[in-house]
């Protein structure tokens, strides 16, 4: 039962992304509907159940744990979970405990996160324009997020910005965002918008801005050097020689990044998605609750990994959206 998790394509699964809640204090247009119906709280795994699930994955070889949502820091008593997970950092079984956040609660939690062993956070921020920020998040307030980033850096956390490339929205801010990150000693990753959720409300074709075009614009102003390093995720990186900063590109639509995929995603209800771009899933809540012994749970995890597909089917070719996922990003975890 101690054998590592290896999928059918001989990829070792060492990275688990865990959504601890589907709730969020923003309503970003590419992630959620404005009037979301959230899961009843009774359907969510308890923090203790999340601990047991994550600990089982760590025992089976997961070395990187990223906490997501929704917005993970709006989950009640979430620091109890982070503090509990820190024991795996102390033992050396877990190499990294981190989170992706919208930044709204960082001012409140940055010091506690650092104390729990978190050393890096990804902050999702698509614009530095206060009105545009309000538009894209519907409910968000930019000054609150900027204070959170300040607090995170002051606490000693390394901050990386994640920005979704949105055609006609943040194109004019490309260089402003890059240079703002450089001035703050923050790396930056650009992400292509993915065809998930209700396309009737937000047309992904109109939003889609190819990162090939974004990179071409960067190369017209800066000297870009390709980097071979990987951080356990799908991003490909360059260094901007003029600033020294690292820029990442997550391009599921113009470049399939699946060949080295080492990650799976666990939802707050105990569903395990073996691929962000496929609907295949496994129920881990049932075996978790059927027995206090972890044997059933471990077997269920191994059976799920055997079903991990080779890759996703996202495609924007021919002006249609193929491989569209009906679930919202907030369900699976960002």
Which residues are part of a known binding site?
Answer: 17, 24, 28, 30-31, 66, 70, 100, 124, 160, 194, 258, 261, 263-265, 275
Reading the block at residue 308, the tokens are 């991990």
Question: Cα-Cα-Cα-Cα dihedral of 140, 141, 142, 146, to 10°?
Answer: -110
Alpha carbon distance 115, 76 (integer Å): 18
Helix intervals (H) in 184-328:
204-207, 211-221, 285-290, 295-305
Reading the block at residue 322, the tokens are 């193929």
Answer whether 118's CB lies under 8 Å from 160's CB.
no
Q: Cis peptide leading into 70, omega within 30 of 0? A: yes
Which DSSP state fits 120?
E
Sequence ranges of the binding site for GTP: 17, 66, 100, 160, 263-265
Question: C-alpha 99: how far from its chain's center?
Answer: 8
Sequence ranges of the binding site for S-adenosyl-L-methionine: 30, 70, 124, 194
Q: Which helix (H) or strand (E) holds 58?
A: helix 47-59
Per-residue b or e along 33-56, where b marks 16 or more CB atoms closer than 10 Å to that residue's CB: beebeebeeeebbebebbbebbbb
Question: C-alpha 186: how far from its chain's center?
Answer: 17
Alpha carbon distance 84, 92 (integer Å): 14
Sequence ranges of the binding site for [4Fe-4S] cluster: 24, 28, 31, 258, 261, 275
């Amino acid at each position: 039962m101690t054998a590592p998790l290896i999928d059918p394509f001989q990829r070792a699964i060492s990275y688990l992304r865990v959504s601890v809640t589907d709730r969020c204090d923003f309503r970003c247009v590419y992630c959620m509907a404005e009037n979301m119906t959230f899961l009843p709280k009774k359907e969510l795994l308890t923090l203790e159940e999340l601990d047991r699930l994550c600990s089982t994955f760590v025992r089976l070889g997961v070395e990187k744990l990223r906490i997501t949502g929704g917005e993970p820091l709006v989950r009640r008593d979430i620091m109890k979970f982070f503090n509990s997970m820190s024991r795996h950092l102390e033992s050396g079984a877990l190499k990294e405990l981190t989170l992706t956040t919208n930044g709204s609660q960082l001012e409140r939690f940055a010091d506690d996160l650092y104390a729990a062993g978190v050393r890096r956070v990804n902050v999702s921020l698509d614009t530095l324009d206060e009105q545009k920020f309000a538009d894209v998040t519907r409910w968000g307030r930019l000054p609150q997020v900027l204070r959170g980033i300040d607090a995170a850096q002051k606490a000693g956390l390394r901050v990386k910005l994640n920005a979704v490339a949105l055609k006609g929205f943040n194109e004019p801010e490309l260089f402003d965002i890059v240079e703002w990150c450089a001035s703050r000693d923050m790396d930056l990753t650009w992400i292509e918008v993915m065809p998930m959720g209700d396309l009737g409300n937000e047309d992904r074709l109109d939003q889609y801005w190819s990162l090939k075009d974004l990179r071409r614009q960067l190369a017209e102003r800066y000297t870009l050097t390709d980097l071979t390093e990987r951080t356990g995720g799908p991003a490909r990186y360059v260094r901007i020689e003029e600033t020294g900063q690292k820029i990442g590109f997550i391009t599921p639509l113009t470049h399939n990044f699946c060949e080295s995929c080492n990650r799976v995603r666990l939802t707050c209800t105990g569903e395990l998605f073996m691929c962000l771009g496929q609907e295949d899933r496994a129920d881990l809540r049932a075996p978790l609750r059927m027995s206090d012994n972890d044997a059933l749970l471990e077997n269920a995890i191994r059976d799920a990994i055997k079903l991990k597909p080779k890759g996703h089917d996202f495609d924007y070719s021919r002006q249609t959206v193929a491989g569209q996922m009906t679930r919202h990003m907030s369900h699976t975890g960002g």
